[in-house]
């Protein structure tokens, strides 16, 4: 009887018990199953076994081989789990007094400007609303007094989806939804005040001051007796807060089917100081905030009686504002994904743990 496979199993069992990490088990695998291992050695010995016993002996060797393979796999699994557990336990008790040594991220400049504006408007009683980037013809145009074939649509060509939907060309696309959402305010004697920032899309030839994907922030206020002076007040307050200095602005008539009267609020280019540069198309002025009194048809479309209520709307160019505030001369930087450019604007001391300790 060929006993060696049985003996080998016993030897393996003992050694396996002593192997306490995955490295030791790997050693065992080489020792027993490797090219020059014990199993291979037994195979060689088969040559010396008489023919009639070869089959039985071969079977025994194979069984032993299989047994060792299974044991190794099981032991490896056990040890891996134990090692993972140890690692988790070790990381759970980390040293809180150690300095943080990770590369902290930064905010995108448009996010920074958006957050700043949101807190300014929140302090003035405005709600901050979100709206989808995909909308439909009704919300983007019809509800805004821009019927089919109106020439105002030419300036707002966009990306149309096969589902009869489109990517919104301006944040005004949310006006109808937001007006409807808050119109019960009016019934209870309160104004509608909301801002809704968002990403907009247009079929645009890209250059230093035009992008096909950009951000706007829309604002609306509706109540009894809202007038242009309310609009001008909010615009001025907002701009002086954002720039923390006197900004030269000008208001000129502008046409948008959803406001009447409509204006263009321009600010003097902060990049060239009004002398003319590529960002302001050499005019010294930048269109920053088209605005106006909400057209009665828009109020009616949202179920609000224009005889009783009036309101203003503005569509602030958030991307433009970020360009002005951070003196970025080329709009293409914002969507470039260039971290070297984009990470400069976050005040890193905000994240600095030492500055928190001092505070
Ligand atoms: N939605 C307009 C645009 O993107 C801007 C605008 C908003 C004009 C609100 C007036 C009032 O061109």
> What mean pLDDT comes out for the span 335-357?
72
Q: pLDDT at position 358, please? A: 44
Q: What is the pLDDT of residue 204?
A: 92
What is the rounded average pLDDT of the residues 173-183?
98
pTM of the model: 0.68
Residue 357: per-residue pLDDT: 47
Closest Cα to atom 10, ligand 1: which residue?
A: 291
Best of 199, 211, 258, 311 to mutate for ligand 1, by most ligand atoms within 8 A of CB? 258
pLDDT digits (tens, 9 = 90+) for 239-265: 888 888 778 888 899 999 999 999 999
What per-residue confidence (pLDDT) applies to 21? 87
**Mean pLDDT for the stretch of residues 23-37:** 91
Cα of 217 vs centre of ligand 1, distance in Å, is 10
Kindly state if the Cβ of 293 falls inside 6 Å of ligand 1.
no
- Assign 96 a pLDDT band (cuts: 50, 70, 90): confident
DSSP 49-109: S-HHHHHHHHHHHHHHHHHHHHHHHHHHHHHHHHHHHHHHHHHHS--TTSPP-S------H
Q: For residue 101, how many other CB atoms are within 10 A of its CB? A: 5
**Per-residue confidence (pLDDT) for residue 359, from 0 to 100:** 38
Q: Does residue 351 have a pLDDT over 90?
A: no
Tell me: pLDDT of 93 over 80. Answer: no
pLDDT band at 63 (very low <50, low <70, confident <90, very high): very high
> Residue of the nearest CA to atom 6 in ligand 1?
315
| Ligand 1 pocket residue status of 317, Cβ below 6 Å | no
Q: Calculate what percentage of the chain has a pLDDT beyond 90.
A: 59
Separation of 170 CA from ligand 1 center, angstroms? Answer: 7
Q: Which of 140, 151, 169, 170 to mutate to test the pocket of ligand 1 (most atoms within 8 A of CB)?
A: 170
Tens of pLDDT, residues 139-171: 999 999 999 999 999 999 999 999 999 999 999
The helix (run of H) or strand (run of E) holding residue 183 is helix 175-187
Reduce the DSSP state of residue 138 to 3 states and report it: helix
- Is 1 a residue whose pLDDT tops 70? no
| Structure token pair of residue 35 | 């090219």
Q: What pLDDT is stored for residue 193 in this prediction? A: 97
Report whether residue 198 contacts ligand 1, using a CB cutoff of 6 Å: no
Phi, psi angles (nearest 5°) of residue 160: -95, 140
Given a contact cutoff of 8 angstroms between Cβ atoms, the answer to whether 256 and 141 are in contact is no
Q: Given the CA of residue 262, which atom of ligand 1 is nearest to it?
A: 10
pLDDT in tens, 70-85: 999 998 898 888 888 8
pLDDT at residue 350, rounded to an integer: 53
* Statement: residue 354 has pLDDT above 80: no
Whole-angstrom Cα distance, residue 294 to residue 316?
15
Q: What is the pLDDT of residue 165?
A: 97
**pLDDT greater than 80 at residue 2:** no
Decide if pLDDT at 326 tops 60: yes
Give me the chain's average pLDDT, please: 89
Higher pLDDT, 359 or 226: 226
């Amino acid at each position: 009887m060929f006993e060696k496979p049985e003996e080998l199993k016993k030897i393996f069992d003992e050694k396996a018990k002593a192997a306490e990490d995955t490295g030791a088990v790997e050693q065992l695998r080489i020792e027993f199953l490797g090219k020059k291992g014990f199993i291979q050695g037994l195979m060689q010995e088969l040559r010396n076994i008489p023919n009639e016993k070869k089959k039985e002996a071969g079977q025994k060797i194979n069984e032993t081989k299989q047994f060792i393979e299974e044991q190794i796999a099981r032991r490896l699994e056990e040890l891996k789990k134990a090692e993972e557990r140890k690692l988790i336990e070790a990381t759970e008790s980390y040293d809180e007094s150690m300095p943080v040594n990770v590369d902290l991220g930064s905010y995108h400049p448009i996010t920074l400007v958006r957050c700043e504006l949101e807190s300014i408007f929140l302090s003035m009683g405005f709600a901050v609303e979100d709206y989808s980037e995909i909308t439909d013809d009704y919300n983007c145009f019809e509800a805004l007094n821009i019927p089919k074939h109106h020439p105002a649509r030419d300036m707002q060509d966009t990306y149309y989806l096969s589902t009869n939907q489109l990517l919104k060309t301006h944040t005004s696309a949310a006006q109808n939804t937001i007006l409807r959402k808050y119109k019960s305010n009016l019934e209870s004697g309160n104004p509608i005040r909301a801002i809704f920032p968002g990403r907009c899309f247009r079929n645009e030839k890209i250059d230093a001051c035009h992008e096909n994907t950009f951000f706007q922030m829309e604002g609306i206020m509706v109540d009894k007796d809202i007038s242009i002076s309310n609009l001008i007040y909010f615009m001025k307050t907002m701009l002086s807060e954002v720039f923390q200095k006197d900004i030269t602005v000008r208001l000129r008539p502008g046409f948008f089917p959803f406001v009447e009267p409509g204006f263009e609020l321009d600010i003097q280019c902060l990049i060239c100081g009004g002398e003319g540069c590529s960002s302001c198309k050499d005019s010294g002025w930048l269109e920053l905030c088209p605005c106006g009194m909400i057209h009665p048809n828009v109020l009616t479309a949202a179920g609000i009686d224009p005889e009783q209520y009036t309101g203003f709307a503005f569509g602030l160019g958030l991307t433009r504002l970020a360009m002005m505030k951070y003196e970025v001369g080329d709009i293409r930087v914002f969507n470039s994904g260039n971290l070297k450019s984009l990470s400069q604007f976050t005040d890193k001391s905000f994240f600095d743990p030492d500055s928190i300790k001092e505070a």
